[in-house]
Structure 1
Amino acid sequence: MIESTKNTTVKRVARLKQRPEREETGLALMEGPQVVRELITHAATTVEELFFTSDGFERHPELAEAATAAGIDVEFVTDAVLSAMADTRTPQGVLAVAHQTPVRLREALPEGTRLVAILDEVRDPGNAGAVIRAADAAGADVVILTGSSVDPYNPKVVRATTGSLFHLSIVTGVTLEAVASEVRAAGIALLAADMHGDALPGLRDALLAPTAWLFGNEAHGLSDAARRLADRTVAVPIYGSAESLNLATAAAVCLYASAFAQRA
């Protein structure tokens, strides 16, 4: 058992809370039973280290059993040590270190791709994670983060995805121009979500085709240049008195509109 917060392993794992360390090592923190459960189920080969407190081990024996079955060694730590390594203030007794698995843009758009979510300059970890989760739920094939969008392996993003990060392809480090070019080459329509676009309910036929939805920054939306790259600009209508929808909610509506149309 690791008992000292000054242990070299503890310090090394804790540094993964910082983006430069994640980029240098290609590793990321995976916190909490739900995220670790999905990690072991869908990406067990990426797990580098797995840590439990005694209480976490007792509360989630199925995780330990799944780890053992996958050939993953379990390391026990004290509550203080797990707190030092974790990004959350109240970690839930289990934490893993895993290799990141980003996909190259061209490899992420094979023949048959039907639904794509593109996040351009999206900075908020909670929003990014919620969009990844919504994309997964709607049956999307890939999520692409362009420009200076938040790192999808930021611990807050990982937690917000509740494991969806391991269910679909993730692309990072690409320009929106490159994405637009590859999307068109793959025969996928590029629709920009923007409050000044055509009303979403009137676009059923357009949504039947393979679709890539483009979502912009939480505060400023899409730039003029980004909107010009799209085949069409689409708005989610507001029928009540709300001033607007937040990014994650609007993204979920758009992604499900395509999912419903394509499965009708």
Structure 2
Amino acid sequence: MNLDFDNAFTERTPRIVNAAKLHRSKERKKAGKFIIEGENAVDAAVSTGAATDIFVTEAAAQRFDYILSAAGYMDVYVHPITDKAARHLSDTATTTGLFALCKPVLWSAGKILAGKPRLVSVPVLTSEPGNAGTLIRTSDAMGADGVIFAGETVDPLGCKVARASAGSLFHVPVAREQNIKDVLGQLRKSGMQILATAADGEVDLAEADLTQPTAWLFGNEAHGLGELLEEADVRVRIPIRGRAESLNLATAASICLYESAQALNSSGA
């Protein structure tokens, strides 16, 4: 793909100015688009048809030429930009020089559950973008059928979340619902059992029945699930063999989803 970098967009070009605004949730909602950065995220956005525009520096165009070639087949507009424009678009200290504007990809909880899922992640009040993205990535890797962010959570379409998901945001259905009680009600109505981890849970993870359709509640990084623990059908302990006091959110989620995926695959459910 031949791009005219002699006339590349600068940081003052209106398209760049407007794209940079998409780092704010309010602007994403207003524009009906979101911005992502990096090889994995942009590649996934292009291959799934979510990307509408790509912004790329000259160095990045050489490095990621295979993505730009795919973009040409997918009718994605590719715009050359200056290095300074890339720094203006980026929310990291060191930019990759590769960005994409995307159409919203969020599902509703109802649409996810209508597909009769076997395994769903339900991060509750998740506030850290890195953890949110990691939960999406882990859920995708473990074959979960969806991720439903419940409550006042970080925006899954934020650039940091998309980057941490390493492209999985475009591969696994993701929803965001503010009403936690409504999410729990929909889960029960769909016939899923609701499990949550707790240090004093009544059942060890190895003893829990994971052969039936399961929704895992994962609590806030700092405060956990609090009173919502009582909403779970079963509270599950993850045994800690060493001297660590606890597991962080992403690690606990990885263990639970892996065990669920193993049990569901073994049972043929």
Distance in 2 between the 1:79 and 1:243 partners?
A: 45
Offset at 1:18? 1.0
After superposition, the C-alpha distances for 1:33-78 in whole angstroms (9 at most, x for unaligned) are: 1111111112x2x322111111111111101110001111210001
Q: How does 1:10-29 map to 2 (within 5 A)?
A: 10-29=16-35
- The residue aligned with 1:214 is 217
Is the aligned partner of 1:187 residue 2:191? yes
Segment of structure 1 superposing worse, 131-140 or 82-91: 82-91
**Runs of 4+ in structure 1 over 6 Å off:** none
Partner Cα distance (1:252, 1:170) in 2 = 17
Q: Describe the superposition over 1:65-97 as per-residue Cα deviations: whole angstroms up to 9, x where unpaired.
A: 100011112100011101101222211121001
Answer yes or no: is the 8 Å Cα contact 2:119–2:144 preserved in 1. Answer: yes
Q: CA RMSD in A?
A: 1.2
Deviations 1:176-197 (A, max 9, x none): 2111111111111000122221
1:2–1:81 Cα contact (<8 Å) kept = no
Choose which of 130, 135, 141 in structure 1 pairs with 2:134.
130
Q: Does 1:154 align with 2:158?
A: yes
Match of 2:230 in 1: 228
Q: Name the CA distance, whole Å, in 1 between partners of 2:224 and 2:14.
A: 43
Which residue is equivalent to 1:120?
124
Equivalent of 1:252 in 231, 251, 254: 254
Find the aligned partners of 1:24 and 1:214 in 2 and give their Cα distance.
31
1:127-183 deviation per Cα after TM superposition (whole angstroms, max 9, x unaligned): 111111100001001101111111111111110000000111111133121111111
For structure 1, list consecutive stretches of 5 or more residues without a partner in the other structure: none
SS at match of 2:244: coil
How many residues are treated as equivalent by the alignment?
A: 259
Which secondary structure state, in structure 2, belongs to the residue aligned with residue 109 of structure 1?
Answer: helix
Gaps of 5+ in 2: 1-6
Structure-to-structure mapping, 1:1-264, within 5 angstroms: 1-42=7-48, 44=49, 46-197=50-201, 198-203=203-208, 206-224=209-227, 226-264=228-266
Q: Give 1:253's aligned amino acid.
A: I
Return the TM-score normalized by structure 2.
0.93
Give the fraction of aligned pairs with identical amino acids, expressed as a percent: 37
Q: TM-score, normalised by structure 1?
A: 0.95
Shift of 1:111: 4.3
**Counterparts of 1:2 and 1:257, CA distance in 2:** 50
User: 2:4 maps to which residue?
Assistant: none
8 Å contact kept, 2:116–2:190: no
Is the 1:207–1:258 contact (alpha carbons within 8 Å) kept by the matching residues of 2? yes
